[in-house]
């Protein structure tokens, strides 16, 4: 779908899209159209349930003499409530409505709205961003779709008095959107396509944007002593990898990097502690944490963020075989701490343990955030609305929550406490990789904290938010890329040179 920004001009064909405020208050363009259509818009509003709320739209067939096929009215809500997220959702809903109608093109009129705290340029850019995010579709393996099953919309134009201003606002949003799409693509791919080596190869392509990418293989990791990560992948025919991505966007002498670490289990059978067959196909997206880090590094580099950032992805495939790790095995992590593996399906924390330690040893980051589809327990606690947030630093936690609210990727802070930490003490090693039945997401976070030094650290358990079962205004069903926009916002607000 092509997105354009132009000055107001007479529409020609397609659908004309105009806004309506709550209580049926028409925007200037809607008023003009209503007059041209001899009150048809006002009459339609009086007959239906449409009130002008942001989640509403109403389509009207254009009468003779109006050079468009239909008029689509979209709700704006109250002027003082118009914000970035509302506008992005409206943009996404417009795309859904036009595709449902089989429309090929649409023109959105962006009007100055009295009482609104956002400019027309920001309105147009954010509606365009929402439209683009909603228009994403992973369809590379569909070969027999009927025409009526395919989206029809191929062009959406935003008309406003300052199109160049809108383009300027939209440009960095577009770069972030590219990172979101990369993550969605990676997470959507099946495990026979995305495995540790192929995912590492995808990450290497970031070098074209100026990201320095290094890939450590099993020999290098064994020499370093990454027994926790390597133990997870030892049952697979695929070689485990550690991808290290560096974006140097500033030469500041104080430029300690901010670091992001992602769990990349490209397929998780559970290993010897094998999962039930039902639903196991979903485990192709157990690498969503790593996919998010790769997409984030793409977004930061593409928009040339003035920040030094490190992204690390621990990539393994957890398979059962004659060489697979067994319950009861004891492994030695890169930190020197020993781990009794009680359950081989609690593997992501083993991968992150070595990746977190390596990150701190090599880069001495000012803060480190890890992302992982780590536990089903977080979905029991929070459902699929919020991701779980654990942190050893209140300021970092508050920044993350604020950034999540700004982009609509919500976090809920969960507790860390000594009473939970004691549950992972082992009789045979320094720790075991699982605690008691209750509080499983918390004990998983406590495990990770044992591999964090004094660095400000946060852990995001995205098991409930990395994949969507239903369409949302700006996110189609499937891979969500949860975390890319959140962490890009975090960098922009708190870590980037101004």
Tell me the catalytic residues.
Answer: 275, 349
Residues in the chain: 498
Cα-to-chain-centroid distance, residue 197:
23
Q: In which residue are the tokens 């074209």 written?
A: 208
Q: d(Cα 476, Cα 139) in Å, to the nearest integer?
A: 12
On whether the CB atoms of residues 127 and 87 are closer than 8 A, the answer is: yes
**What are the two backbone dihedrals, phi and then psi, of residue 290, each rounded to the nearest 5 degrees?**
-65, -40
Report which of 85, 216, 101, 81 is spatially closest to residue 152, judged by C-alpha positions.
Answer: 101
On whether the CB atoms of residues 384 and 409 are closer than 8 A, the answer is: no
Q: Which residues pair with 5 in a beta bridge?
A: 158
- Strand 387-391 vs strand 457-461: parallel, antiparallel, or unpaired? antiparallel
- The two structure tokens encoding residue 227: 């027994």
DSSP of 119-167? -HHHHHHHHHHHHHHHT----TT--S--GGGS----EEEEE-S-HHHHH
Question: Residue-wise over 266-287: b if at least 16 C-beta within 10 A, else e?
Answer: bbbbbbbbeeeeeeeeebbbbb
- Calculate the CA dihedral of residues 405, 174, 198, 191 and round it to 10 degrees: 50
What Cα–Cα distance (Å) separates residue 232 from each residue in 261, 346, 348, 350?
17, 9, 8, 7
Residue 26's SS3 state is strand
Query: Which positions ≥6 away from 359 have C-beta within 8 Å?
Result: 259, 261, 310, 312, 365, 368
Q: d(Cα 22, Cα 40) in Å, to the nearest integer?
A: 18
Report which of 368, 339, 324 is spatially closest to residue 234, judged by C-alpha positions.
Answer: 324
104, burial (CB in 10 Å: exposed 0-12, middle 13-18, buried 19+): middle
- The two structure tokens encoding residue 113: 């709205």
């Amino acid at each position: 779908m092509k997105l354009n920004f132009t000055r107001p001009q007479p529409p020609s064909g397609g659908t004309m899209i105009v806004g309506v405020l709550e209580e049926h208050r028409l925007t200037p363009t809607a008023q003009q159209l209503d007059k041209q259509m001899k009150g048809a818009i006002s009459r339609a509003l009086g007959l239906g349930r449409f009130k002008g709320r942001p989640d509403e739209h109403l389509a009207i067939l254009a009468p003779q003499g109006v050079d468009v096929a239909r008029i689509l009215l979209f709700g704006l809500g109250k002027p003082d409530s118009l914000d970035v997220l509302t506008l992005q959702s409206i943009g996404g809903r417009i795309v859904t409505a036009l595709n449902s109608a089989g429309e090929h093109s649409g023109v959105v009129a962006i009007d100055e709205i009295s009482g609104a705290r956002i400019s027309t340029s920001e309105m147009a850019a954010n509606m365009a961003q929402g439209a683009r995010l909603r228009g994403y579709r992973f369809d590379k393996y569909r070969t027999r779709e009927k025409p009526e099953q395919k989206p029809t919309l191929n062009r959406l134009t935003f008309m406003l008095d300052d199109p160049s201003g809108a383009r300027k606002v939209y440009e960095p949003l577009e770069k972030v959107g590219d990172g979101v799409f990369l993550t969605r693509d990676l997470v959507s791919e099946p495990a026979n396509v995305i495995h540790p080596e192929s995912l590492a190869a995808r990450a290497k392509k970031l070098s074209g944007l100026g990201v320095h990418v290094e890939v450590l293989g099993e020999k290098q990791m064994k020499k370093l002593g990454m027994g926790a990560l390597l133990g997870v992948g030892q049952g697979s025919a695929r070689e485990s990898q550690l991808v290290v991505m560096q974006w140097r966007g500033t030469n500041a002498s104080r430029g300690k990097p901010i670091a992001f670490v992602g769990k990349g289990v490209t397929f998780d059978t559970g290993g010897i502690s094998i999962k039930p067959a039902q639903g196991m196909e979903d485990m192709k997206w157990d690498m969503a944490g790593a996919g998010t880090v790769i997409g984030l590094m793409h977004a930061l580099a593409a928009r040339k963020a003035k920040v030094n950032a490190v992204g690390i992805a621990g990539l393994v495939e957890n398979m059962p075989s004659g060489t697979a790790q067994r319950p009861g095995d004891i492994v030695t992590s890169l930190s020197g701490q020993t781990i009794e593996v009680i359950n081989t399906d609690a593997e992501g924390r083993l991968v992150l343990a070595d990746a977190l330690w390596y990150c701190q040893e090599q880069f001495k980051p000012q803060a480190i955030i890890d992302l992982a589809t780590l536990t089903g327990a977080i979905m029991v606690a929070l459902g699929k609305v919020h991701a779980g947030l654990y942190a050893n630093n209140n300021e970092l936690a508050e920044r993350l929550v604020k950034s999540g609210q700004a982009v609509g990727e919500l976090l809920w802070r969960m507790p860390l406490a000594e009473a939970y930490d004691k549950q992972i003490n082992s009789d045979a090693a320094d720790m075991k990789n699982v605690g008691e039945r209750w509080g499983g997401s918390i004990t998983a976070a406590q495990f990770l904290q044992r591999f964090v030094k004094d660095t400000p650290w946060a852990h995001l358990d995205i098991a409930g938010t990395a994949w969507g079962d239903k369409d949302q205004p700006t996110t189609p069903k499937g891979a969500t890329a949860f975390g890319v926009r959140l962490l890009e916002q975090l960098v922009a607000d708190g870590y980037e040179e101004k």
